[in-house]
Amino acid sequence: MSQDSQKTRTQAIDFSSKAHYLTKVFKSPFYSRQEPLNHLKEWGRWADYLSPHAYTCSDMEYFACRNACTVFDLTPMSKYRICGNDALPYLDRLVTRNVSKITPRRVGYCAWCADDGQVIDDGTIFHLGENDYRLCSQERHLDWLLTNTIGFDVQVTDETHDVAALALQGPTSCATLRKMGLEGIENMKPFDIRVFSFEGTELTVSRTGFTGDLGYELWIDPGHAEVLWDHLFRAGQHHGITAMGDEALQLLRLEAGFIQARHEFMPAHATVRTGHTRSPFELGLDWLVDFSKPNFNGRKALLAQKQNGHRYNLVKLDIDGNKPARDSYVFTKNKKQIGTVTSAAWSPSAKASIALASLEVPHGKPGEELLVEIYYQKELKWSRVMAKARVVTDVFYDPPRKRLTPPADF
């Protein structure tokens, strides 16, 4: 195969071709704009796509999101279109929440479980129109979704590669979109969806995000991806717009208290060892479980767990000192090991060392004082500290602007 033909296929992936499987890693439709900005050349993998860890400095990208606005490429996210007369009952059968409460042009957070009540993944359901939904998640689930269509009048289409997406997050995100010409964007409430005309195509915008800040997610066909990127950066040039990688996003989502697959839980279908999965109750997602529904995946097991109790509590920890407690064990004050830290960092906004941790029941009550075993290295010398920690209930960063409608104009 010639270099020219390879170059063509990376720009426009033809999945009708029998040879598409030869491409091991795909480049995002935004790659031509990302690559010149990625001065560190630090590319990672998100499923089968290249995804930047950081473009220049993850710290600066973090501060840009909290003080201006940042752009994060969501294209690798799994995106499944679910249509048909039974789209609603099909989704209600899959996920634990009541999908009928997600009204048209709204987005709802959800989780879905295996028959044993263990979480397969969490994600978002976009109610695009009558009998028309989009399910988004980090992990790939096409086989499982198709298997569960038996008995339903529903069509499930994997549109991961057919929809390019960007997250525009931060206090100046609304002002940037207004500058770009999206009239009425300031009237969108959190979890709203609106469709705008843009350069001869449709641009879908949702007021959603993974940063715990004011923000939007933009969805468009890949053929208009570069045009969208260019328009965004022109509109945001006086609003501090910056490209952002995954390292900054991880800190942002931790401050917001958001969980992530393969951090706070292992997807049930990807877990081999017994006891290494988690139920919604063990992830603080009990509010997403609606037992008023007569049937959904894992209902019987979750009902038994609600009656008999669960094994773990996922908690937020405020830790003394400034050393991140990544991958640390958690102990009682009597030095009994009771859990592990799942995500941790020093939070510039909270001015504290923060963490999410999975603790054995009955531990994890608000205000409980614990110890966290932290190892850190300075010039090849390892040190160990048993840092005091407290279980807290509030998220570490929760600015009112993320809920304000209309947002402040910058």
Residue 28 exposure: Cα atoms within 13 Å on the Cβ side: 28
Longest dimension (CA), the chain: 66
pLDDT at position 13 is: 53
Q: What's the pLDDT score for residue 24?
A: 77
Segment 259-273 mean pLDDT: 95
Confidence of residue 145 (pLDDT cuts 50, 70, 90): very high
The pLDDT of 231-242, averaged and rounded, is 97
Confidence of residue 21 (pLDDT cuts 50, 70, 90): low
In this model, does residue 37 exceed pLDDT 70?
A: yes
- Per-residue pLDDT at 15 exceeds 90: no
Average per-residue pLDDT for the chain:
94
Residue 239 phi, psi (nearest 5): -115, 15
Distance set, CA 201 to CA 113, 119, 181, 194, 230 (Å): 36, 37, 14, 14, 15
pLDDT at 3: 44
Give me the half-sphere count of Cα atoms (radius 13 Å) on the Cβ side of residue 257.
Answer: 18
Domain with CATH 3.30.1360.120 in the chain: 21-77+162-255
> How many CB atoms within 10 Å of residue 146?
13
pLDDT of residue 330: 98
Give the pair of three-digit tokens for residue 95: 């996920």
Question: CA distances (Å), 241 to each of 211, 216, 311, in order?
Answer: 15, 14, 44
Work out whether the CA dihedral 360, 364, 370, 374 comes out positive or negative.
positive
Q: Give the model's pLDDT for residue 19.
A: 57
Report d(CA 179, CA 214) in Å as an integer.
Answer: 16
The answer to which of 15-19, 71-75, 137-141, 275-279 has the lowest mean pLDDT is 15-19
Least confidently predicted of 152-161, 249-258, 337-346, 401-410? 401-410
Q: What is the pLDDT of residue 379?
A: 93
Q: How would residue 75 be classed by pLDDT, with cut points 50, 70 and 90?
A: very high
Looking at the chain, which residues constitute the CATH 3.30.70.1400 domain(s)? Answer: 78-158
Q: What CATH class does 312-394 carry?
A: mainly beta
Hey, how many other C-beta atoms are within 10 angstroms of the C-beta on 226?
A: 16
Mean pLDDT of 381-388: 96
Q: What percent of the chain clears pLDDT 70, i.e. is strictly above it?
A: 94
For the chain, where do the domains classified as CATH 2.40.30.110 start and end?
312-394
pLDDT band of residue 307 (cuts 50, 70, 90) is very high
* 5 has a pLDDT exceeding 90: no
Residue 8: pLDDT above 70? no
Classify domain 78-158 at the CATH topology level: Alpha-Beta Plaits (3.30.70)
Tens digit of each residue's pLDDT (9 = 90 or more) over 183-211: 999 999 999 999 999 999 999 999 999 99
Quote the pLDDT of residue 18: 52
User: What pLDDT score does 409 carry?
Assistant: 85
**What is the rounded CA–CA span in Å between residue 348 and residue 354?**
10
CA–CA dist 17, 152 (Å, integer):
30
Closest CA to 323 of 392, 265, 388, 379: 388
Burial of 209 (0-12, 13-18, 19+ CB in 10 A): buried
Candidates 3.30.1360.120, 2.60.40.10, 3.40.50.170, 3.30.300.30; correct CATH number of 21-77+162-255? 3.30.1360.120
Measured CA distances, 182 to 27, 185, 230, 347 (Å): 28, 6, 15, 33
